[in-house]
Structure 1
Amino acid sequence: MEIGRFMEQYIKNPKTVGAIAPSSDKLACRMIEDIDFLNATYIVEYGPGTGVFTEKILDKKKDSTIFIAIEYNMDFYNILKDKFRDRTNFILVNDSAENLKKYLHKYNIDKLDYIVSGLPFASLPQDMSKKILSVTKEILKDKGEFITFQYTLFKMKLFRKHFDRIKTKKVLLNLPPAYVLKCKN
C-alpha cells in the first residue's frame, strides 16, 4: 500500500519526492548504524517520506531523546502522523527543511546531534539545496553528524562545500542502489 502511495507522490512531485519506492530496510540500517542512540539528545530527520528511517530511529532512541521529523509533502505527513501518533518525544512538522531553525527555536533546541536526510538533493533546486546544507552545518553540534543518501555522487562537490569530512558507503540492496554519506564539520 505504501509503495503505491509513494509512486503516486513521485509522479505528482518528482523534484521533491525523488524516488519511486520507499528506501529498503538494508539502506535504513546503513543510515542509522553509527548513531550513538545512548548519548543522542536531539535527532532530526529531513524528508521522512513514509517513515522507513523514522521507524528505525524511533525504535532505537531513548525515550528522553527529542526526535523531530520534517516532511514537506502533505500526503506523507498524514501517513506519518497516523503511523507514529503515540511515540514519545516525537515531533512531526509539515514544512521544508529550509525552515528547521524556526522549529528548533520553538522547542528551545540549540544544536543537534544527528540529522538524517532522505532529501533528493540531485533533484532539488540548487538554491534550496545550498540553504538546507548551510542550515544543517550551522545547527549541528561540534561532533554532530549529517547522514544522507543519494543515488549518484554528482552532488559531492556541493556536500564538500559544507562539510570537511565525508565517508561514503554504497548500498546495493536498494531500488535503485544508493550511496550513504556521513558528513561531519
Structure 2
Amino acid sequence: MPSTTTTARRARTRTPGVPTPWQMFFQQFLKHPVMVGSIVPSSDRLIRKMLGPVDWANTKLFVEYGPGVGTFCPAILDRMTPDAQLIVIDTNADFIRYLRHTITDPRFVAVHGSAADVERIVRDHGHDHADYVLSGLPFSTLPPGVGPAIAAATQRVIRPGGAFLVYQYSPRVRLFIAPHFTDIDHEMEWWNVPPAQLYWGWKTKGAAAATPMQG
C-alpha cells in the first residue's frame, strides 16, 4: 500500500494562483474564525489516531464533514480500496473550490452543502449508506438546532458496525453525539494545536431498524 506522502503527491496538484494549504487555511481562519476553530490544520498524529479504528477493507463510502483544506483527505485516500469513494461536505465555498483544484483522485468528491443533508447527498452519489463519517465541525458554535440535526442524520446514514469519528477542541461535543450513539470511545491527542478530544461513536446493529435513512 502506498504511503500517505506518496498519495499526497498523487492526489494533489498545484494550479497557478492557488494558495498553499497553509495559506488557504490561514486565510479562511481570518475570515471565519468561529467556523474554522483552529489557526493551524490537524497534526499527523491526530490523523493517524483518528483513522486507526477504521476497517478499511470493508469501507466503500467514507464521508467527511468540514474538510477545510483537505488535511485528512490524502490519508483517507491512501487507506481506501480502489473501488471506494470519499465524499467531503463543506458549507464554505472557498474550501470546496480549493479542494476541487488540488485533489484529482477519481475517488474523491467535494460537495458544497450542509452536513445535515448527508442522507440526500449519499443517495445522490449512488450509495445506500456510509461506512464511516468523520467530522471536525465546531458543534458548540453551530446555529441552534443544527448540531443535533447533523448528529441524528449521521446516525441514520451510517451502516450498522460503522462509526461517527469526531475530533473537537471542547468535550461539549459529546452532548451532541451521545443521544444517537450509545457506544462511544474517547481519547485525547495532546500533540495538536490546540489539544483535541477524539470520539468514535459506533452504530450498533440494534440501532439500524429504528432509524432508517429518510428522504
Task: Specify the TM-score bucket, using the shorter chain as the normaliser.
Answer: over 0.9
Among 172, 176, 191, the alignment partner of 1:158 is 176
What is the CA distance between 1:5 and its match in structure 2?
A: 2.4
CA contact (8 A) 1:40 1:113 kept: yes
TM-score, scaled relative to structure 1: 0.93
CA contact (8 A) 1:46 1:118 kept: yes
Aligned to 2:110: 92
CA contact (8 A) 1:63 1:88 kept: no
CA contact (8 A) 1:114 1:140 kept: yes
Q: Does the residue aligned with 1:93 lie in a helix, a strand or coil? A: strand
Distance 1:11 1:109 in 2: 36
Deviations 1:104-149 (A, max 9, x none): 1212211111001121112212311111101000111111100010
Q: Percent identity?
A: 32
What is the CA distance between 1:49 and its match in structure 2?
A: 0.6
Distance 1:2 1:138 in 2: 33
Distance 1:172 1:26 in 2: 9
Deviations 1:134-182 (A, max 9, x none): 1000111111100010112123222211210111110011000001100
Q: List gaps (5 residues or longer) in structure 1.
A: none
Distance 2:30 2:144 in 1: 21
Aligned to 2:201: 183
CA contact (8 A) 2:43 2:192 kept: yes
Q: List gaps (5 residues or longer) in structure 2.
A: 1-19, 204-215
Report whether the alignment pairs 1:21 with 2:26.
no
Report whether the alignment pairs 1:104 with 2:122.
yes
Regions of 4+ moved over 6 Å:
none
Aligned to 2:83: 64
CA-atom RMSD, angstroms? 1.3
Deviations 1:58-115 (A, max 9, x none): 1110110121111221221122112212x13211111111122222121221111100
Larger Rg, first or second structure (1 or 2): 2
Among 131, 150, 174, the alignment partner of 1:132 is 150
CA contact (8 A) 1:47 1:118 kept: yes
Distance 2:190 2:22 in 1: 19
Among 127, 133, 148, the alignment partner of 1:115 is 133
Distance 2:173 2:155 in 1: 16
CA contact (8 A) 1:122 1:150 kept: no
Distance 2:199 2:96 in 1: 25
Distance 1:74 1:120 in 2: 17
CA contact (8 A) 1:18 1:123 kept: no
